[in-house]
């Protein structure tokens, strides 16, 4: 298949591109490089440097005999989405409407979309399955929920077929070290720990240690990007074989606390992670855990790279490479 990966120069996108190439698909990348990196591009793929708000550019890209689209081009900083909802509405929602319209206008039917566990909000039960009520706590999460609704309508009205993948906590780097571009301004736990080890920031602040969990710190479901990437390949193949639209959680169904992550990082890197306890971060639920049963059944997918050691060592390798 010829796949157009929109946002293919980003952190998750570049891993998806690599997995698609490995599965012998032809790939073109569409990215405005606002957060994606030129160094994440593969020389053999066509690269279109353009914005998803540019309808003509999208249409031209799709007219190159594209069989399916993977859309990962979105702003994803939760805090920023609450400060600048206009920017998130424009980029995430209007940008996706442009993609859906360009697909409808060119007859490209199959779409794999990057959604997020942020659509669920505070869990009413764990593990969270896809039937869990949706109540996003951030505007970012709302944009993902809203886009899923558009996709459902375009399915009904325009013959779109989609797989929406709700990622839990995406972590890790390509273990082969081919994709190793670091995210600009990372906001998540693992990159922050790496920066604390390397002295790029004074300390990790652990947000809250009085949660009702085994050690008082929050528990999350950390899934390796290589496992996320393989789910995209399988989702595209599923749609290609005539599968119907799906919304699927992607997680490992195992949880680790922040302190467990710190301890494992110290063990794997052999370095001290300087940290201090700080106040709870607003909107952080104590425990988030996926049920990924549906993805396992429908896509015949299994996470095989998400052992903590792999997650941490691959991240550490990417950070060490970048500080050479
Ligand atoms: C966040 C988003 C989520 C998004 C996901 C992937 C929130 C509330 N949720 O998940 O919507 O889909 O990223 O981008 O922002 N932590 C610290 N200190 C830090 C950073 C994090 O203690 O400096 C803790 C957090 O409290 C949390 C865990 O580490 O318990 C993971 O945090 P993070 O990597 O930011 O991801 P989430 O907040 O779980």
Q: Which atom, in ligand 1's list, is nearest to the CA of 217?
A: 30
- Pick the residue whose CA is nearest to atom 36 on ligand 1: 188
Q: What is the pLDDT of residues 168-177, one digit of tens each?
A: 999 999 999 9
Q: Which atom, in ligand 1's list, is nearest to the CA of 168?
A: 12
With CA atoms as reference, report the closest residue to 40 among 228, 185, 178.
178
Model pLDDT, residue 321: 87
Choice from 118, 184, 225 to test ligand 1 binding pocket (greatest atom count within 8 A of CB)? 118
Residues 229, 31: Cα–Cα separation, whole Å: 17
Is 189 near ligand 1, meaning CB less than 6 Å away? Answer: yes
Residues 227, 303 contacting (CB under 8 angstroms): yes
Is 284 near ligand 1, meaning CB less than 6 Å away? Answer: yes
> How many residues does this entry show for the chain?
324
Q: How far does residue 13's CA lie from ligand 1's centre (Å)? A: 20
Is 290 near ligand 1, meaning CB less than 6 Å away? Answer: no
Q: How far does residue 190's CA lie from ligand 1's centre (Å)? A: 9
Provide mean pLDDT across the span 129-143.
97
Q: What is the pLDDT of residues 11-20, one digit of tens each?
A: 999 999 999 9
Is 78 near ligand 1, meaning CB less than 6 Å away? Answer: yes
- Name the CATH superfamily housing domain 189-220+253-322: UDP-galactose 4-epimerase, domain 1 (3.90.25.10)
With CA atoms as reference, report the closest residue to 225 among 290, 292, 300, 306.
306
**Catalytic: which of 11, 88, 120, 140?**
140
Residues 112, 268: Cα–Cα separation, whole Å: 34
Query: What beta strand segments (E) does 138-213 contain?
Result: 161-167, 169-171, 204-207
Does residue 324 register a pLDDT over 90?
no
Task: Find the radius of gyration of the CA atoms of the chain.
Answer: 19
Vertex 211, ends 205 and 213: CA angle to 5°? Answer: 110
Q: Which atom, in ligand 1's list, is nearest to the CA of 167?
A: 12
- Name the CATH superfamily housing domain 2-171+222-250: NAD(P)-binding Rossmann-like Domain (3.40.50.720)
The residue with tokens 């050691």 is 309
Q: What is the pLDDT of residues 31-83, one digit of tens each?
A: 999 999 999 999 999 999 999 999 999 999 999 999 999 999 999 999 999 99
Does residue 323 register a pLDDT over 80?
no
From first CA to last CA, the distance across the chain in angstroms is 38
Q: How far does residue 189's CA lie from ligand 1's centre (Å)? A: 6
Burial (CB count within 10 angstroms: exposed 0-12, middle 13-18, buried 19+), residue 279: exposed
- Pick the residue whose CA is nearest to atom 35 on ligand 1: 188
Does residue 253 register a pLDDT over 90?
yes
Provide mean pLDDT across the span 92-119.
98
**% pLDDT > 90, the chain:** 97
Does residue 225 register a pLDDT over 70?
yes
Residues 28, 16 contacting (CB under 8 angstroms): no
Provide mean pLDDT across the span 276-301.
96
Q: What is the pLDDT of residues 180-215, one digit of tens each?
A: 999 988 989 999 999 999 999 999 999 999 999 999
Provide mean pLDDT across the span 95-109.
98
Q: Which atom, in ligand 1's list, is nearest to the CA of 141?
A: 11
Q: Give the domain ranges of the chain.
A: 2-171+222-250, 189-220+253-322
Active-site residue, 140 included? yes
Residues 106, 6: Cα–Cα separation, whole Å: 16
Is 76 near ligand 1, meaning CB less than 6 Å away? Answer: yes
Is 179 near ligand 1, meaning CB less than 6 Å away? Answer: no
Q: How far does residue 303's CA lie from ligand 1's centre (Å)? A: 21
Q: What is the pLDDT of residues 77-101, one digit of tens each?
A: 999 999 999 999 999 999 999 999 9
């Amino acid at each position: 298949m010829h796949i157009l990966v929109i946002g293919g120069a980003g952190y998750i996108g570049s891993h998806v591109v690599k997995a698609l190439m490995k599965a012998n698909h032809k790939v073109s990348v569409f990215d405005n490089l606002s957060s994606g990196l030129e160094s994440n591009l593969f020389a053999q793929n066509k690269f279109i440097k353009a914005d998803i708000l540019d309808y003509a550019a999208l249409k031209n890209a799709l007219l190159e005999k594209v069989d399916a689209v993977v859309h990962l081009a979105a702003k994803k900083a939760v805090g920023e989405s609450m400060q600048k909802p206009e920017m998130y509405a424009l980029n995430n929602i209007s940008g996706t409407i442009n993609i859906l319209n360009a697909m409808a206008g060119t007859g490209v039917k199959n779409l794999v979309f990057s959604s997020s566990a942020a659509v669920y909000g505070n869990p009413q039960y764990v593990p969270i399955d896809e039937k869990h009520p949706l109540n996003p706590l951030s505007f970012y999460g709302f944009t993902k929920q809203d886009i899923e609704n558009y996709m459902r309508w375009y399915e009904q009205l325009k013959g779109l077929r989609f797989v929406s993948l709700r990622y839990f906590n995406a972590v890790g780097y390509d273990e082969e070290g081919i994709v190793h571009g670091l995210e600009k301004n990372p906001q998540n736990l693992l990159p922050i720990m790496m920066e604390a080890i390397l002295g790029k920031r004074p300390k990790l602040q652990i947000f809250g240690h009085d949660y009702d969990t085994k050690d008082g710190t929050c528990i999350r479901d950390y899934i390796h990007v290589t496992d996320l990437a393989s789910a995209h390949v399988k989702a595209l193949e599923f749609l290609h074989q005539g599968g119907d639209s799906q919304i699927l959680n992607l997680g490992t169904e195992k949880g680790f606390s922040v302190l467990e992550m710190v301890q494992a990082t110290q063990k794997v890197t052999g370095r001290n992670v300087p940290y201090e306890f700080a106040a709870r971060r607003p909107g952080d639920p104590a425990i988030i855990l996926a049920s990924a049963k549906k993805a396992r059944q429908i896509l015949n997918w299994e996470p095989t790279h998400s052992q903590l050691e792999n997650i941490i060592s691959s991240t550490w390798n990417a950070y060490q490479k970048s500080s050479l």
